[in-house]
Structure 1
């Protein structure tokens, strides 16, 4: 049983960090040891838990079910350790957080508000900006980052996957013949995001995907701005689903090739490696991870 519990903890860390390498760095293990633990767990259960590629991991349906139980196990263990460590005193102090500006309109902001109400003696400084901040240089405690994370000395935890939609203004769609497959969109006008590559991957099912590069007509450093320009008919965009649901319902935007799913982006909490386990930073990370775990994956498509 001890071996299975250890393997469960390693499996959960691999999911949180998004790769065996990142999990190994967090757990002070080698990637091969992390892979061994996950493989042993899969062999014992007789089912695949993770789909592996050279760049990322994704959970199978069985993996998603097991991950929720692994989270509950780790949270229960953490709560017990915290109680015995005498951390019952009400937290206080200051905590700085930077996150992309468009999250101001997402459920994530509601979760931060809940944290603030839960700990009224904690002073939160929230920096909503689409420009990537340097945590060490700028003295920031925690960042919310999107997409693949570069190897660094920072620690990270995957919070949720953010669904996106391919959208365009009805006026733009009326100018062109309706596309049949994603590759036909390569020569359409696109809106580029400075922080994201000019490349899209759309999937029909797990076994069929198309990836293509495009040359943007306009490039901006704000996803909110890209949404407004898309409404104005300036090009295609793939914003987070929660940002454009009202515009789609109102007819200002329409989905393009709705049966083809644009690749979702992982959303991570990132913090300096020297943050103490009992720090406000880790308390906020646990709060966000717990909120998104209870809401289900993906939690931002609401």
Structure 2
């Protein structure tokens, strides 16, 4: 079959150039080899394709039919080759990514938008959710997670870190004495993110001073944005990513509590299937979304 396709292509080039010699020049073959391939094709098909004379080549009716079919074949192949070439320089395909909903309020969305502008042929399906979706079972290519001390492994990579702040509304704080130490906050109204409700809070201060407390919360929520809105409404203290509160703090409606004390930053990291191609769309996206 491969030999037959080659003979058909040589036949078409012969007619397009009007001579065996013209086709031979383009194909970098000798005229006798070109003539041999056309003759072989005629013999296999059992029909004459070309009437030869010393001055020109003339197609038979069978030759006209085969030339039309061959041109369609060559056009289809050449079109696919062009598309493949474009795809190689402009990657295309689909990526399904699950992302914690709180990151929809961060500049992570700007990074995603920049990636999409750079690679417009890649379709992105983004699942912003605080429900922890399963990477494989739910059919995702990349899962963005948040947690402490992320490590780079064969199937995970730290993308960036997010500063966490202890915040409360200015109105809530106006009714209480200003705290100097994390232990002063025991007994205050605490709001907790459900997945982290039993995790002790570790504070650090310049000079190596540290303090650990485990306050009792009275409101639990599984959504960091909802937790922040509750704090903004005066329900109590909440630990949230800095980007959620920065504008309200600047406006004066919210305040950082114990601004001299710091909480450990939380890492944002990605995980992906172990069999993901090293030079595929997943790693292309990871490189673009990593903040270096």
TM-score above 0.5: yes
Is this contact kept in 2: 1:154–1:271, CA < 8 A? no
Which residue is 1:180 aligned to?
180
Matched residue, 1:73: none
- Structure 2 match to 1:233: 234
Quote the offset at 1:146 in angstroms: 0.8
- Give how far 1:278 is off: 1.4
* CA displacement at 1:150 relative to structure 2: 9.1
Per-residue CA deviation, residues 42-79 of structure 1 (Å, 9 max, x unaligned), is xxxxxxxxxxxxxxxxxxxxxxxxxxxxxxxxxxxxxx
How far apart, in 1, do the equivalents of 2:270 and 2:206 lie? Answer: 29
The question of whether the paired residues in 2 share the 8 Å contact of 1:161 and 1:264 is answered with yes
Contact 1:93 1:121 in 2 (8 A): yes
Q: 1:215 maps to what in 2?
A: 216
Q: Distance in 2 between matches of 1:150 and 1:200?
A: 18
Distance (Å, rounded) in 2 between the aligned partners of 1:206 and 1:218: 34
Gaps of 5+ in 2: 1-86
Task: Give the equivalent residue in structure 2 for 1:44.
Answer: none
Per the normalisation by structure 1, the TM-score is 0.64
Query: In the alignment, what sits opposite 1:130?
Result: 130
Aligned pairs, number: 206
Q: Which residue of 1 aligns with 2:101?
A: 101
SS state at 1:165 partner: strand
Quote the offset at 1:197 in angstroms. 3.6
Matched-pair contact (CA < 8 Å) for 1:105–1:243 = yes
Q: Which has the larger radius of gyration?
A: 2
| Whole-Å separation in 2 of the counterparts to 1:148 and 1:154 | 18
| Post-superposition offset of 1:104 | 1.2
Identify if the C-alpha distance between structure 1 residues 265 and 149 changes in structure 2 by more than 3 Å, giving closer, same or farther: closer
Tell me the TM-score normalised to structure 2 length.
0.66
Aligned match of 1:7: none
Change in Cα spacing, 1:178 to 1:267, as seen in structure 2 (3 Å) is same
Residue matched to 1:52: none
Q: CA RMSD in A?
A: 2.3
**CA separation of 1:217/1:154 partners in 2, compared to 1, >3 Å: closer, same or farther?**
farther
1:146 match: secondary structure: strand
**Preserved CA contact (<8 Å) 1:191 1:226:** yes
Contact 2:189 2:217 in 1 (8 A): yes
Aligned to 2:275: 274
Conserved? CA contact 1:217–1:235, under 8 Å: no
User: Aligned partners of 2:150, 2:204: CA distance in 1, in Å?
Assistant: 25
Structure 1: runs of 5 or more not aligned: 1-86, 294-302
> Following TM superposition, where does structure 1 have runs of at least 4 consecutive aligned residues deviating by more than 6 angstroms?
none
Partner of 1:25: none
Q: Deviations over 1:3-59 (max 9, x none)?
A: xxxxxxxxxxxxxxxxxxxxxxxxxxxxxxxxxxxxxxxxxxxxxxxxxxxxxxxxx
Give, in whole Å, the separation in 1 of the partners of 2:207 and 2:146. Answer: 22
- Alpha-carbon contact 1:168-1:255 (below 8 Å) kept: yes
More displaced, 198-207 or 165-174?
198-207
Equivalent residue for 2:148? 148
